[in-house]
Structure 1
């Protein structure tokens, strides 16, 4: 991650939280009048989560991690998993990050990632066992900020099982767009919602992987994050699809909390239906999928119809995938406030990778919403 500026949390609360530009762009204060994520549990499968940061005290359900899978769950090796947890459910206390779903709860899991010693990797719980355990719990959402360029049958089977148990799974599309832009897993598995990252202008990050794996987009660029595992300060200008994934998970938590009787299919359908896009929903973008998430559009509509409970909105007929096209960026774009604005010039940016957001406050203002985050690249030992 790019970390040029460190901010001591206790001394710079306003500075850290003021950098969470997406909260105001998404009108979080208005959404919190309707929902704060209360009653929803989210599993954060990452580098571990430190439950002792001021923003996470009381937010991390350590006791709900099976003992056989608890190794390292609360000992974050890099600050990454803790940052994801705070983006999702941080209270903002003590100068910490304010979560988009501040009353949701986090269940932490650590899996093997690059940067760990071989000994640590060997001790880390197997992702397959982790996903199966989460599937059999009352966690509703699984946030996976890791990526691998290899698909494993047992991992895919575990994810399919979790989906069959009613879980909603999110994963970052990856940060290799400028190099390989290859398929990464778990984002590319059929039962996982792949998330790309956009910046303040609604433009997809140059690093953010694009292609069939992308289902939705969310803010991820220039978001503060813990600098390292010492947890002494936050750093500015962090980017990657991990952050975008955390924002997407928190968005789902807000909706599910407001509508506890909905299924994962209905929560996901509501995010897809209301996503900001400038193209027909039937032709998802290679860069933004079905568009940039706008949970407010669901929460503010008391009569929103989420559709059938048992139909996966990402499923395709007869096993044939819908092509994700790159629609022109010159068409009018639907804004998060429901109006229209002009998309960026198609000649200067990749087709289908931009979307301008209008947010109306005390005065009409053009606000750009986007994001990026640093994805964890997991190394995986196999027998």
Structure 2
């Protein structure tokens, strides 16, 4: 978990993206992933709940018109502002808007960004900071911002959480607990890896067990260049998959045109592929979706294998859509990362705690007060429960008589064929 604000530099949530004024980038990934074809078949992420945890957002941009986007205006950082207007443009707001547009963008406005899962139900949780520094830590039961965001997302029923931020890790148990609780709830967490070896301290949350860690690649199929070390490609041992994330158009509404690159962009695309797959296979669990993600990289079927900074390979929308995730084991396959946190035991403990919670809630719930004009008893003063019980017994007896009569008749031929 991120430490308190004793050292400001350690609290910077660094966006995994850079931008520069240039000619507009293209949505090259849209064609290569076969997104239009999938969407024409109805696979748009409809009905799937996705949470985006980032900095700030401008939800009034043309790219979000008609999208199923909710913004939680309670900043994850004390005193912050999540939602910004055109006049309040900032790098933090551009970052949050860019990653969200890659999920549900409609192709309108600056950058003409089209989302990979445009009908997904997205809720945006923002730190609410413009400078990138959360100088007061979290303001909710002592939880730090990302942990608070994960708690809210899980509590609201998110199936997938997309996080394009990286934080320094200080080995606090709350980190483990937040991830363990999400995994126990079957939530898939997708997080960006750092864009430079100089940002190696940004270990939370991508390096944790169970989390899908995403790196970026360019249109030529090469892993992105280190953004702070010239001539070096950036790769991480615990990378899960690689996705497009270099040379994208931005929704940035400042003057000029912006092209952006980084693992931040590859992360929502991966989350979107999972959302679209979840729509097609609604009974698949979070563990099965991740199993499918890593086994169905590239376009061709292959044996499961890892390759250093490439992880299990390049994500593939087409491949995932054609394979039913329920053919795989219902288990998160990413519990073997170098960091070894949280442990499988912690996830199991979280599952036990979650399963026990409803029973505890039921026994401690207040007595329901029935209005005086409700039919809660008979004229003779008998409790309604007794009346219902007597009626049920009478119906059971009547059903038994009917069954006996039917069994004594000749079997009739089924009309309409077998069901």
Structure (1/2) with the larger helix percentage? 2
The 5 A counterparts of 1:86-235 are 86-94=101-109, 96-111=112-127, 115-116=131-132, 126-151=145-170, 152-177=172-197, 179=198, 181=200, 184-207=203-226, 209-227=234-252, 231-232=253-254, 235=257
Higher gyration radius (CA): 2
Shift of 1:266: 1.5
Q: Which of 19, 22, 25 pairs up with 1:5?
A: 22
SS at match of 1:32: helix
Deviations for 1:73-116, whole angstroms, at most 9, x for unmatched residues? 32374210000000111112345311011111221111276824
Q: Which of 324, 331, 334 pairs up with 1:314?
A: 334
| Contact 2:19 2:261 (C-alpha < 8 Å) held by counterparts | yes
The 1:312/1:294 distance shift into structure 2, 3 A limit, reads same
Instruction: Give structure 2 stretches of 5+ with no counterpart.
Output: 1-17, 227-232, 342-419
Instruction: Give structure 1 stretches of 5+ with no counterpart.
Output: 8-15, 322-383
Q: For residue 80 of structure 1, what is the aligned residue in structure 2?
A: 95
* RMSD of Structure 2 on Structure 1 (CA): 3.2
SS at match of 1:212: coil
Q: Structure 1 CA distance, aligned partners of 2:29 and 2:330?
A: 32
Q: Structure 2 CA distance, aligned partners of 1:247 and 1:234?
A: 25
Q: For residue 62 of structure 1, what is the aligned residue in structure 2?
A: 70
Aligned positions, number: 303
Q: Structure 2 CA distance, aligned partners of 1:21 and 1:308?
A: 31
Q: Indicate the larger mover: 112-121 or 133-142.
A: 112-121
Q: Structure 2 CA distance, aligned partners of 1:181 and 1:278?
A: 33
Q: Structure 2 CA distance, aligned partners of 1:233 and 1:263?
A: 44
Q: Structure 2 CA distance, aligned partners of 1:242 and 1:268?
A: 19
| Contact 1:62 1:74 (C-alpha < 8 Å) held by counterparts | no
The 1:150/1:68 distance shift into structure 2, 3 A limit, reads closer
Q: For residue 267 of structure 1, what is the aligned residue in structure 2?
A: 289
| Contact 1:92 1:99 (C-alpha < 8 Å) held by counterparts | yes
Q: For residue 32 of structure 1, what is the aligned residue in structure 2?
A: 39
| Contact 2:81 2:128 (C-alpha < 8 Å) held by counterparts | no
| Contact 1:80 1:226 (C-alpha < 8 Å) held by counterparts | no
